[in-house]
Amino acid sequence: MSGGVDSSVAATLLKNNGYDVVGITMQIWPTDNYLNNEHFGGCCSLLAIEDAKRVAYRLEIPHYVLNFRRVFRKKVIDNFIQEYKKGRTPNPCIRCNQFIKFGALLYKARELNANFVATGHYARIEYDAKIKRWLLKKGRDISKDQSYVLYPLSQEQLKHILLPLGNLSKIEVREIARKKGLLVADKKESQEICFIPDNNYHRFLKPQISGLCGNKEINRGPIISLNGEIIGEHKGVAFYTIGQRRGLGISFREPLYVVSVNPKNNTIVVGPDKALYKNQLIAGNVNYISIKKLSQPLNAEVKIRYKHEAIFATILPLDNGKVKVKFKQAQRAITPGQSAVFYDGDVVIGGGIIIN
């Protein structure tokens, strides 16, 4: 229970359906004064815990706060820092779902003899007896669908997860909360990454990466054009992502965008908007859900980021758990570190992390 309306209504629906419900809020934020701001009201903050406690009291269910600080730091925050240091752009919510909510928390729940972990995600889980596999499907409310951030889940995880909001819209969820008299019924959604409360990546990353480099200044380097001409200086490769236009500090005859980030030679390559379009990508660490493995080319729809429209493509198996994705139409700003997720209609086939 994050203290928001979605997890609160998920608990409400389960209670109404006769489940023996226990509310759990994960304590995952770091102890830094900057991050542990009492005025920050985002997911899993101090204020969010109080909201979750009030909802649990209203529902007459027990509520506990469990400390997952250490594993969250290791699996999510440290990975976030390392990925940016390598010039990639990660999605920490995906790793949180994989390793924390449906990893460490699910493990703890099973230790306590709970049969399921339930959350307020807008997605659906169903068992297909014909192929004997658990399936992950898009939420009915496509505008809120969160299947993209759940693609790394395993069959073992999926069979112990309940997603009560999968067939509901956000409007319906808020109405249920109002009828139940929950104080969070009209609470605004948190848009920030939970461990960056002011959404300022640069402010967060600078001391973290400096620490990894022995408290040295982060290396600046050249910004170069597509033809190799040095036209500016960057502040450190960790502070740039594919498709970025702002913050380049370059005056040029046409708008320029980050086309590639190269940590090995400490350069940023920029070019016009048309240089951002690519017809294919390579993804690794691929996880399959609706199939056991990919042994031949497969036609599917592919999303290259959370809010991106799914585009028709062909997925080809490669060695070492990698795939090549060839798009029917060139895609803008394919970004290493983000995930490519494959769909067959509403069904998630699987997905992997974009390498290039």
Q: Tell me which residues are annotated as active site.
A: 96, 194
Q: Residues 6 or more apart from 118 whose CB is under 8 A from it?
A: 10, 11, 14, 21, 161, 162, 163, 164
What is the spatial distance between Cα 80 and Cα 242, in angstroms, rounded to a whole number?
A: 16
Q: Hunting for tokens 């859900």 — which residue is that?
A: 289
Report which of 80, 30, 34 is spatially closest to residue 212, judged by C-alpha positions: 80
What is the spatial distance between Cα 117 and Cα 250, in angstroms, rounded to a whole number?
A: 50
Query: Is 1 a known ligand-binding residue?
Result: no
Report which of 43, 71, 45, 30 is spatially closest to residue 192, judged by C-alpha positions: 43
In the chain, the N- to C-terminal Cα span, in Å, equals: 36
DSSP states along 311-340? EEEEEEE-STT-EEEEEEEEEE---BTBEE
Query: Is 120 a known ligand-binding residue?
Result: yes
What is the spatial distance between Cα 263 and Cα 209, in angstroms, rounded to a whole number?
A: 13
Q: How many CB atoms lie within 10 A of CB 86?
A: 15
> Would you list which residues are annotated within the binding site?
26, 120
Binding site feature residues for ATP: 26, 120
